[in-house]
Amino acid sequence: MADFLHLAEQWQTLIAGLLGLAGGVIAYLGARHAASRQVAAVESQTVASRDALAEAEERSRNAVIWAIRSEARRLESEAHARRRALPSAPQPADLDKGAIIIASSPLLRGERADISLVDTEIQQQLADLSLLLDQYNAHVQTRGVNVLGTIIDKEVLDLLDTLMNISRDLSSTLS
């Protein structure tokens, strides 16, 4: 034991230096471990945030698809009802223009920002449907009226048939 104390007296600076170095290595390893735990925590939070955002976008996308499908079915139903109410051949109809026109919707007017969540093909089909509805309504607005009612021409009937077909196609595409 005396030899150890004698050695410690002679080499105390070296021993203190080695103990200091060991302490530094231990502190470095501890800090590195703590930092890697923090990085792992941040990465898991990032993944959780990304997953939550993807889930929210998917819910919004499904809601938009449901709204488009519902709108397509509504337009098909409205066009079918107008087709039944109007004469089967061009002639005056016993309806005023207001009863023949089909109302648009915020979805068809492009007032929903989340429409961008659906693919461009569906967006284009919806835009085509909206354009067709606008053409139909504009054509009805320009029809003449006589004592028998609004004059229905072949183009009104053709536009209604096309509107029913495109609405049905869009609805079945989304089903």
Could you report the per-residue pLDDT of 98-146, keeping only the tens digit for each?
888 899 998 888 888 888 888 889 889 999 999 999 999 998 888 777 7
DSSP 8-state symbol, 151: E
2 pLDDT more than 70:
no
88 pLDDT more than 90:
no
Helix (H, G, I), strand (E, B) or coil at 134: helix
Nearest to 64 by CA among 134, 111, 130: 111
Helix axes 12-85, 154-174, angle to 10 degrees: 150
Average pLDDT, the chain: 87
39 pLDDT more than 70:
yes
Q: What is the pTM of this model?
A: 0.71
Q: Which of 10-14, 42-46, 56-60, 123-127 has the lowest mean pLDDT?
A: 10-14
